[in-house]
Structures are given as structure tokens and as C-alpha cells.
Amino acid sequence: MSDNIIKVDLNDNGNGEEHLTTLNGMYQDYFLDYASYVILERAVPSVHDGLKPVQRRILHAMKEMDDGRYHKIANVIGQTMQYHPHGDAAIGDALVNLGQKDLMIDCQGNWGDVRTGDSAAAARYIEGRLTKFALEVAFNSQTTEWQLTYDGRKKEPINLPMKFPLLLAQGAEGIAVGLSTKILPHNFIELIKASIQILKDKKVTIYPDFPTGGSIDVSDYQGGKRGGRVKVRAKIEVVDKSTLAVRDIPYGITTASLQDSIVKATEKGKIKIKKVTDNTAKDVEIAIELAPGTSPDVTIDALYAFTDCEVSISPNACVIIDNKPYFLTVEEILEINTRNTKDLLQRELEIKQHELMEKWLFASLEKIFIEKRIYRDIEECETWDAVLAAIDNGLRKYVVTPSDKPRKDDKRLKLFRDLTQEDFVRLTEIKIKRISKFNSFKADEQIADLEKELEQVRHDLEHLTDFAIAYFENLLKKYGKGRERRTNIATFDTIQATEVVANNAKLYVDRKEGFIGTSLKKDEFVCDCSDIDEIIAFRRDGKFQVSKISDKVFVGKDIIHVAVWKKGDDRTTYNMVYLDSKTGRSMAKRFNVTAITRDREYDLTMGNELSKTLYFSANPNGEAEVINVQLSPSSRAKIKHFDFDFTELEIKGRSSQGNILTKYPVKKITMKEAGKSTIGAQQWWFDDITGKLNNDERGRLLGDFDTGDYLLALYKDGAFEVLEPDALKRFDVNELISIEKYDPNLSSTLCITKATKVGQ
């Protein structure tokens, strides 16, 4: 049935005609109304005062109640309900959230803890009042625009006259219909200093600062606009070799959720931790006891990689301007706030100027009225009009108004406006006692003081920018103490999860059938690995692929090499000789595998069917060996045995075809001599906690190691080892006396030669 036929409602449009409302039309109209309400009246803050409607009503209600003393929050909620159309629960939650910002509300009692996630006590048990800061920056009935409340009984502010970038100081978060906002909090002191720079027409850049501390990487902040991102990290300290302590937590994370994330990562085998204890009291402290033989440095990296010790936050600065949502940068918001503050200060000065001028005018009229005894002129007046006329005539002798036409030599007192009947009425209300005790000298002093104040106000209006700067500087002086930056700005190194995850699995291979995995325990053991590692497997047919480790993965039959693959590894070099089945040539190549698409099969040959690998080696430090090539006895080659040095080849990409080694049939290729690295020496460190070697600068630097360089390890029982560096080998640090780079020319190595290596 067409929706144009579904008659839902008939309304008289005023012209005597019926208007058809369709069901689709109802949905569209009602949904737009609802969306507009949620955006404007609930979820998104105004750019002018930085408040959502419920927050604005709370602060307005507290100002109406303000008498300098604390009020029960239950009473504040009740007072706010006069202005807010929702129930007490919504108001209470918003009030507690506002109080926890520690800026506008002076809290007393248990208001909860954003660090631990503890909720506040019941509204009847906690109290609060407006802070002195709030009273100074947020309220002025003379500069406030008002509107009727939802029920039309009272008036409420459209926006509070906020003379401070509150939105950026507190931050805001809300989800509306079709859009959301997430503005991160910024530092109080930095905002004021940035506002001063804006008033000086200088560009500024501001970054978030969280009450929970920690560190933040703002390299991709993009001014808090959509598409930006920040990374926030907890502060982790090494207490001793077996204990870590989390001192600060990321913004938006509680100590309980952080502890849970650590426990879950431990249960999954990502990190090795013995015990986690939350000791948070006045300060945050989560104690982490490490498993024996676990490196604190590696564990810290693992905590950042696998737990909520590091979180990513995507800001989205959406604000309401003139009843419309806008997406801005935080710098644009700050500039709007700063200009708004300047405008409000101007309006306050103009109001003050007008009030002072009115005081000066009446003080001057009063002085003339009494000194010139005009009050005696009204004693014989019989009507009220006659009284007013007598006062007017009496004053005209001594004052001149803008509507008068004074003579050039007119010495009468010049007034800034015309006199009104209200002025005459006020003069008649002066009591006889005041007239009798009138002191002309004090009156002159009062007028002089008013003129001095007026002069200062005029000066401030003429130098409004300087006045606004002084205003911000005064705020900083009065309220800036104790509001220093808590979150450290830093650039985080990218942590590769595969490099810090604990080895919680073992890799096996079935070379003939082409399977790899952790469940093939009856087949060949390859190495220890983690359950997030990626495995590279090369086959006899000259093809390879990289797959994520699992229980059992098929990668193709006749595997010749399998190992854990590290993305971006430009040191591991593969030396290869393959037979091209189409030309019959044997091709030699050297290549790296730094980037791939997982589970995709790559061909290292020219792609011709029946091509095969004749020789293959994997070299972790770019070594280039010498091979001996034995050709088929039946070949026509004059030289059927020759050596080939891989150093003659450049390291290229995996798709390179390689160089021609020989065009004759090859019978056999064997390694003749192990070569040295062609990409330079590699530095190795020794971690005396885990007992393992590494290239990640953890522990003590042992030196630069090239191919042919060895380590010397001396043990307490008198044994020793001379061996090549190997990241997979673990030393027993309790039995180890020393480990160093082996040098046969030094006496400290006991002149040990390679022939005495343990295990040979």
C-alpha cells in the first residue's frame, strides 16, 4: 500500500482545507524534532559557556541558592528540577560529574573517584557550593540573556556569561543522534596563557592534560578535530628486578579496569606476571609482581602493547553555535572563548560606566539641590506638578543638558543626558536629616572619586585588549596555583606486539606434508614462539608464504625452511639458487622479505612450472657464503666444478629474477665456506634479568658482532662457552660469572680458541 494513501491525521491548515499527513512524513518530522532536541538540549555543549543544558541549569540553581555555605546535593537537585525537564537521577549524575572536574563546584563529602571508578555517596550525604572561581567567571545577571523554563514559570540563562574557556578546561563527551562530541580536557594554566597570546594576535597550539596524569603522544592530535588521535600511557616505574608499579593511569581508565586488562593478558599468555595488586589510596599504585626470569623492560613494553596501560583516544570537537552543531579545532574554540570573554568584559565595563555616570549625575544634582537651596523653592508649591516644575527650573540655572543650546561662555555643569521626572522625584525623596547634615566637602570628594573611576573605566574601554590580558593574568595569579600540567607530553615508540609478547607456544613442522603449527608435537620442533607470531615457510618449488601461527596450517608440501617472520626485518637475508625450467638456467639471487600479504603465495622464480630450488640459506645478519657448484658430468661445460661467492650479488627485492649462475645442468650445490655479513656488524645487549641477548638496547651493551665474532660465557663451576650470539638462547644468570665479546688476544679470555667451544 502506498504511504500516500495511509491517512494518519487530518488537520485544518487554516484555509478550510484538509492536510494529509503520511506515516513516512510523521517519522521524518518526529525524528528530526527528536534529533534536534537531543543535539541541542542534551548531548552537545555550547561553545560560549562550554556547558550542556543540564550543567548550565545546575550552576544557575546553585547561584540562586548561594549564601556562601554548603548545600545538601539533594537540595541542589530539587532546586535544579525547577529548570530541568528530566528527573533527579539525570541531574544527580551530571552534578557529580561536574563536581569531579574540581573547577566549578566546591565539594564536601564522598564525591567518588574517577581514578578507581568508585561512585559518589547518596545525594543526601554529600554537599557542595560554587567555588570562588565559578562566582567570578560564570555569573553576571546584567550580561545574561534569559529565556523561559520548560514550564514557563521561571527564567533560566540561555548561556552563562562565561569569561573563561571552561569547555576546554573540563572537556566534554556526549552522543547525540547522528553525531557525537568528545573534547579532551586541557590545562588550566596553559589555556589562560594561550588566551593571552590570542589577544596579542599570536598563533597558539594547545594539547590535552588529564587529571589522571600519565603520558600523551599528541603527534596526531590535529587540534582535536575529527580524524585526529592521541595515545595515552600509564606511568610505570621499575621498583626492583621483580616488581613494577603503575603510578598514573590513562584518561578514561579506572584502576579496576586496568587491573582486569592485565589479568586477562596474563591468562592469554601475552605477558608473564605472577601477581597484580591494587594499592591505590591517596595516590594511584598498582603493584605488578613479575614471574622469575622476566625482564622489567620487556614487561613494560608488553603492558603497553596488550593492556589498558596504553589507550588510543579519538577526539571529536563538536559544539553548538547559534543552535547549530559545528566541528572545530580546539584552537578555534579557544579563540571563540577568548573573544567572547573580551566582549563580555567590554559589556561589563560599559554597564559599569553607565552606572558610574548615573551616580555622578545624581550626586551632582543632589549637591546643587542642597547647596543652592532649591528644596526651599518647593515649600510653597501646592501641587505635585508645581513641585517638579520648581525643581526643574531651579536646576536649569546650574546645569546644561544635551538638548539645551548653551552659550560659548556658559559655565553651567554639563550633564551627559537630559533630566527626567525620575530625577526630580529622587531629589524629593532626600530626607531632611540628610539635608541638615550635608557636607559639601565630602560631596566634592565623592564626585571626584566617581570621576576618577569613570576615567579609569574609559581608559580600560579604550585599551580593551590590555584590560582583557590583565583580567586573564589576574585569574592565573589567583587560581593557577596547584593546577600545573599533570600529563607529560612525549612521543611514543611504536611497540611491535610480536617483539614483546611472551613465548607461550612451540612451533613444529611437517616438511614433507607441508604443515606447520603448535599442535604437531610428533613432528620436527622448530623454535619457541608466541601465539601472535607470523611464520614464513619456503618450499622446494621456489615459493613461499607467511601465515599466522595456529594449531595446524597448510603452507605447501616439501618445506625447506621455516621460521618466525618479523615485519620490516631488513637484516635477515636469503641466499638462493633456483632452476628455471623453461630456459634450463640456474639463477642466483639474494633478497629480503620485509613486507607481505598474509597467506598469499609468492613465487621466487620466474614463474615457470616445474622450476625448483637448488640451494637455499637464511642468514640473520646478511651473511654471504661461498658455495661449490658441481655440474652434471654429461654437460658440455669445460669446467664442471667451480665456486661462487654470494658477495658478488646485491641484495634485492624478492621479485628479482637473479643473476645467471650457469646455463648447464647442475648436479649438486654445497656450502664451501661461511661468509661474513655484507650489511655491517650488529650490536648485541645482554639482559642480566632474563639472561637473554637482544638487539633492543635492553641491559648491557656487549659490542658489535660481525660474522665470525663470538661470545665468551664463564660459569661459577669453572665451565665456559664460546658461541655465536643467539637471541633464543637463555643463560642462567645465577650461575654466570661474566659474559663478553670473545677476543683471543686478551688474557681475560684465557686465550681460549674456537676449537675449545663447549659442545664440539
- Residue 550 DSSP code: -
End-of-domain residue from the set 127, 158, 189 = 158
Looking at the structure, tell me whether residues 249 and 279 fall in a common domain: yes
- Residue 147 maps to which CATH number? 3.90.199.10
pLDDT score of 718:
84
Q: How do residues 427-444 score in pLDDT, each as one tens digit?
A: 888 888 888 888 888 888
Domain boundary pick from 291, 313, 335? 313
CATH number for the domain including 303?
3.30.1360.40
Give dist(CA 416, CA 394) in Å, integer: 18
| pLDDT value for 4 | 44
In a domain, 204, yes or no: no
- Catalytic residue selected from 30, 34, 37, 125: 125
Say which residues have a Cβ less than 8 Å from residue 347's Cβ, sequence separation at least 6: 143
Better-predicted residue by pLDDT, 689 or 579: 579
Residue 418 · residue 401 · CB < 8 Å: yes
User: What mean pLDDT comes out for the span 453-470?
Assistant: 94
Whether residue 728 sits in one domain with residue 579: no
Do 689 and 544 share a domain, yes or no? no
Do the domain assignments include residue 617?
Answer: yes
Is residue 758 packed enough to be buried (19+ CB in 10 Å), middle (13-18) or exposed (0-12)?
exposed
Q: Which three cell numbers stand for residue 734?
A: 645465577
Would you state the pLDDT for residue 601? 93
Asked whether residue 24 is assigned to any structural domain, the reply reads no
Residues in the chain: 760
- CA–CA distance, 104 with 535 (Å, rounded to integer): 56
What percent of the chain stands above pLDDT 70? 92
End-to-end distance of the chain based on CA atoms, in angstroms? 89
User: pLDDT grade, residue 749 (50/70/90)?
Assistant: very low
Print burial letters for 320-357: b (CB count within 10 Å at least 16), e (below 16).
Answer: beeeebeebbbbbbbbbbbebbbebbbebbeebbeebb
pLDDT of 689 higher than 80 = no
357 and 454 in contact (C-beta within 8 Å)? yes
The pLDDT mean for the chain works out to 87
pLDDT class for 500, splitting at 50, 70, 90? low
Domain end among 158, 176, 204: 158
Q: Is 286 within 8 Å of 259 (Cβ atoms)?
A: yes
**What does the pLDDT look like over 564-599, one tens digit per residue?**
988 888 889 999 999 999 999 999 999 999 989 999
Mean of pLDDT values over 405-419: 83
The closest alpha carbon to 272, from 468, 503, 93, 450, belongs to 503
Beta-carbon-side half-sphere exposure of residue 604 (alpha carbons within 13 Å): 33
Mean pLDDT calculated for residue range 61-72: 94
Average pLDDT over residues 403-415: 81
Same domain, 513 and 638: yes
User: How many structural domains is the chain composed of?
Assistant: 4
- Among the residue ranges 41-45, 454-458, 558-562, 617-621, the one predicted with the least confidence is 41-45
| Claim to verify: residue 151 and residue 273 sit in the same structural domain | no
Helix (H, G, I), strand (E, B) or coil at 528: strand
Which CATH number does the domain housing residue 664 bear? 2.120.10.90
Give 504 or 18, the one with higher predicted confidence: 504
52 vs 95: CA distance, rounded Å: 12
Among 743, 705, 744, CA closest to 725? 705
Answer yes or no: is pLDDT of 176 > 90: no
**Phi and psi at residue 114, to the nearest 5°:** -70, -20
Question: Is residue 692 located within the same domain as residue 667?
Answer: no
412 occurs within a structural domain: no
Task: Read off the DSSP letter of residue 223.
Answer: G
**Alpha helices, H only, 268-323:** 296-306
The rounded distance, in Å, linking the Cα atoms of 214 and 237 is: 12
The pLDDT, as a whole number, for residue 227 is 87
> Greater confidence, 178 or 277?
277
- Taking residues 511-523, what's their average pLDDT? 91
56 and 130 together in one domain: yes
On whether residue 410 sits in a domain, the answer given is no
What is each CA distance from 631 to 312, 339, 580, 668, 670, in whole angstroms?
60, 85, 15, 7, 12
User: In the chain, count of helices (H) and strands (E)?
Assistant: 16, 43
Tell me whether residue 559 is in a domain: yes
Q: Is residue 285 part of a domain?
A: yes
Q: Say what percent of the chain tops pLDDT 90.
A: 52
Residues 546-560, mean pLDDT to the nearest whole number: 92
Task: State how far the alpha carbon of 417 is from the alpha carbons of 30, 407, 413, in Å.
Answer: 53, 18, 12
Residues 668 and 693 in one domain: no
Identify the weakest region by mean pLDDT among 43-57, 106-120, 182-196, 743-757. 743-757
Each residue's pLDDT tens digit, 217-271: 998 999 998 889 999 999 999 888 889 999 999 999 999 999 999 999 888 888 8
Provide the Cα torsion 697, 702, 703, 708; round to 10°: -120
User: Which residues fall within 8 angstroms of residue 672, CB to CB, at 6 or more apart?
Assistant: 625, 626, 627, 628, 643
At residue 707's C-alpha, the angle toward residues 702 and 709, to 5°, is 40
H or E element, residue 88: helix 88-100
Instruction: Print the SS3 string covering 488-519.
Output: EECCCCCCCHHHHCCCCEEEEEECCCCEEECC
By the 10 Å C-beta count (0-12 exposed, 13-18 middle, 19+ buried), 536 is classed as buried
Average pLDDT over residues 668-676: 88
**Domain range for 297:** 230-313
Q: Report the candidate in 310, 37, 343, 340 with the shortest Cα–Cα distance to residue 168.
A: 340
Specify the pairing of strand 651-652 against strand 586-591: parallel
Same domain, 98 and 240: no
Task: Determine contact, residues 35/176, Cβ cutoff 8 Å.
Answer: yes
Within a domain: 747: yes
Helix ranges, 372-463 (H): 384-396, 421-428, 432-436, 440-462
Spatial separation of the C-alpha atoms in residues 464 and 470, rounded to whole Å: 10
Task: Judge if 539 and 590 occupy the same domain.
Answer: yes
Q: What is the largest CA-CA distance in the chain?
A: 150
Task: Name the grid cell of 645.
Answer: 661467492
Is 398 labeled as catalytic in the residue annotation?
no
Tell which residue, 67, 95, 68, has the closest CA to residue 81: 95
| Cα separation values, 120 from 78, 103, 108, 645, Å | 18, 17, 11, 75
Whether 88 and 37 have beta carbons less than 8 Å apart is answered as no
CA distance 600 to 724: 34
Residues 639 and 733 in one domain: no
The sheet carrying 273-278 orders its strands as: 235-240, 243-248, 286-290, 273-278
pLDDT at 2 over 50: no
The residue behind cell 637475508 is 573
Strands 215-217 and 488-489, sheet pairing? parallel
- Following DSSP, what letter does each residue of 338-386 receive, concatenated? HHHHHHHHHHHHHHHHHHHHHHHHHHHHHHHHHHTTGGGGGTT--SHHH
Q: Are 543 and 565 in contact (CB under 8 A)?
A: no
Same domain for 701 and 559: no
Integer Cα distance of 728 and 506 in angstroms:
13
Mean pLDDT of 477-495: 87
